[in-house]
Structure 1
Amino acid sequence: MARTRLYRDGVLEAEGFPIADVSEYIKDPSATVWFDLLAPTPEKLAVISEELGLHPLAVEDVLHPHQRPKLDVYDSHLFITMYVVKLADDTDLKLTEVSVFVTKNALVTVRSDDTCDIDSVVARWDASPTLARYGVAFLLHGLLDYVVDGHFDVAQTLDDRVESLEEELFTERPGDVRSTQRKMFDLRRTTVRFRRVVAPMREVVNSLIRRDLRVVAPEMAPYYQDVYDHVLRVSDWTESLRELVGNVYETHLNLQGNRMNDIMKRVTSWAAIIAVPTLITGFYGQNVPFPGFSQPLGFWTSCVTIVVASSVLYRVFRKNDWI
């Protein structure tokens, strides 16, 4: 499947035309062409590469997924790799690799799967028809804006889940410890994966703004600067999330240590209370005569001593919150 659009002098002139017509349209300097490919075959990419004069290394990167977000500069075009990010469930990231070829008057997007909602990108273009006269820079801005906004939404969701996990630390019951540890591990892993996608985007957008590339017209520069500001915010936010998850993990360990100390204090306190009657009964169980030996007075004296000593120890430990 492929989607196509043709702008001429900033006006949408045609869409849905065959890709075979692209080579004819791009000969016109006043025309700007966009077409989108969804998981194309190597043969189809080879045909497009020949028509647009794409560099073999860039085409090879498209065919080999899991590339790092980057911007490569070639003589006839730019090649950009970026990722659309969505949360598939609580902490599982769904990454869609989007490869972009940027020529003088053509923009080619290649998606690895249909998770990237290209209709939303088209809707952004249609919402700003007055900027269409800036050609490829206008189309590329709409795509970048969609991708970065998706990163922002994911960062917001992860931040909410970190806050929820922080509250859960102080309300969890002993049986929930393993579940909480699993949530922290999954969230930490998700944050690290998300950072690998977001952090390189700073260099990508910053490089596009460079004047020597001559991709962004001066009129479009403020729009790209706005995208760059969003990229910086998401990047800084991701770094903060990673530190927060680490702090939550350390806090969890400290709480577990404190709970263990409380348990040890209670066990030690009860052991001390039990030791008193054990000592007294053991002493009175000697096989040698002592005051009260074999007399009721000795029995009642030992019982009273046990009760009094145990009560005093209990009150002392209770006052110090050891029991």
Structure 2
Amino acid sequence: MINYYSIKDEKIVEYVEGLDLFWIDMQSPTEKEIEEIVNKYSLPRDYIYDVRDPQEISRIEGINDEGKSKLIMLLYPLKITDGYYATRPISVILTDGVIITATALESNILEVLKENKFKSFVKTQSREDFVLEIAWRISQFFILAVRDLEEKITLLEKEMRVSTKNELLYKMINIQKSLISFQMATRENGPIIDSMFASDRLFSAEYREDLIRDLQVENKQAQVMVEKSSTMLEHLSDLYSNVISNNLNDVMKILTSITIVLTVPTIVGGLWGMNTPLPFSNEEYAFFYLLGLSALISFIIIYALKKRDFL
């Protein structure tokens, strides 16, 4: 799917005849759509095709070359299921006065830009501002995703206190995989962001230092949050094994105590069920006597077990 956008009254609007084309957004494009854009703007094929590779790394190409298309490829977080994220590449291409973004899967990461929710000092019609805004939003999405995972970790802490199910372990594995992906992605995005600002040819706005500081701080914050959450989850995994073992011990202790208590009526009933002369065997209320005796012994055993914290 390809969407075209222009600038009108300093706002992003859908492209119509009579307006200059400013931004081409490609999400889950078909082969035909990719070929159309590649041929129209004479782009290297890998600029767009590489976003289909989930293992693609961040990179920057042609940033200092005069007259060439410029590629900035970054990794962004993509929510797969509740509590599980992956990272995927996004291509940001600058060519012939047009910005082209491409992702292999549909994502809402750029929706805020289509809604014109920019930072206060960003000039929408500036290509460099727009590219920097995309990079800043990607760092923001990492932070939001990590916060979501931190909430999931908090819920796991509460659930594991009473649960012995493997389901919690599977949730923990998904969170761990997500954080590892985030750790690698934010680490790879960092040098690309630094390279973007090292180029005076492309990024030379008068408030360039403000953009540098905000973007680098945002990416650094994402890295720190990912590292913190990874450490928390690592310790939580160790505790989880101990909690499960302790919960299983409690369950076995209770089941063993119940078995001991229920054994008493069985023994009493077995003894007085023999075909030999026994006390109370000729009594009219012998059954109730034996029932009371079983109950008395059972209560004594329950009291003894509770006193020793076995029940």
Q: 1 or 2 for the larger relative contact order (CA 8 Å, sep ≥6)? A: 2
| Closer, same or farther: CA 37–240 of 1 in aligned 2, 3 Å | same
| Closer, same or farther: CA 113–179 of 1 in aligned 2, 3 Å | closer
Q: CA deviation at 1:120?
A: 1.6
Aligned to 1:304: none
Q: Is 1:150 paired with 2:150?
A: no
Q: Secondary structure at the match of 2:191?
A: helix
Q: Is 1:140 paired with 2:139?
A: no
Q: CA deviation at 1:232?
A: 1.2
Aligned to 1:181: 169
Corresponding letter in the other structure for 1:201: N
Aligned to 2:280: none
Aligned to 2:58: 70
Q: Is 1:162 paired with 2:153?
A: yes
Q: Is 1:116 paired with 2:108?
A: yes
Q: CA deviation at 1:251?
A: 0.3
Q: CA deviation at 1:320?
A: 6.4
Deviations 1:199-254 (A, max 9, x none): 32222222212245643524133124212211111112112212222211110112
Q: Is 1:82 paired with 2:83?
A: no
Aligned to 2:15: 16
Provide the rounded CA distance (Å) in 2 between the counterparts of 1:222 and 1:177.
50
Corresponding letter in the other structure for 1:167: K
Residue number among 23, 28, 49 corresponding to 1:39 in the alignment: 28
Aligned to 1:3: 4
How many correspondences in the alignment? Answer: 273
Q: CA deviation at 1:147?
A: 2.2
Gaps of 5+ in 1: 26-31, 271-310
Aligned to 1:203: 191
Aligned to 2:228: 240
Q: Identity rate of aligned residues, in percent?
A: 16
Aligned to 1:287: none
Check whether the contact 1:11–1:132 (CA below 8 A) recurs between aligned residues. yes
Provide the rounded CA distance (Å) in 2 between the counterparts of 1:267 and 1:4.
68
Check whether the contact 2:75–2:185 (CA below 8 A) recurs between aligned residues. yes
Q: Which deviates more from structure 2 when the two are superposed, residues 46-55 or residues 245-254?
A: 46-55
Q: Secondary structure at the match of 1:113?
A: coil
Q: CA deviation at 1:13?
A: 9.9
Q: CA deviation at 1:163?
A: 1.3
Q: Secondary structure at the match of 2:155?
A: helix
Alignment RMSD: 4.3
Aligned to 1:52: 41
Q: Secondary structure at the match of 1:160?
A: helix
Check whether the contact 1:58–1:79 (CA below 8 A) recurs between aligned residues. yes
Check whether the contact 1:80–1:100 (CA below 8 A) recurs between aligned residues. yes
**Aligned counterparts, 1:257-268, within 5 A:** 257-259=245-247
Aligned to 1:305: none
Check whether the contact 1:138–1:220 (CA below 8 A) recurs between aligned residues. no
Deviations 1:23-79 (A, max 9, x none): xx6xxxxxx8322223334444344334434334424424x4324341222232332
Check whether the contact 2:92–2:99 (CA below 8 A) recurs between aligned residues. yes
Provide the rounded CA distance (Å) in 2 between the counterparts of 1:53 and 1:163.
50
| Closer, same or farther: CA 218–247 of 1 in aligned 2, 3 Å | same
Q: Secondary structure at the match of 2:123?
A: helix
Aligned to 2:210: 222
Provide the rounded CA distance (Å) in 2 between the counterparts of 1:182 and 1:46.
41
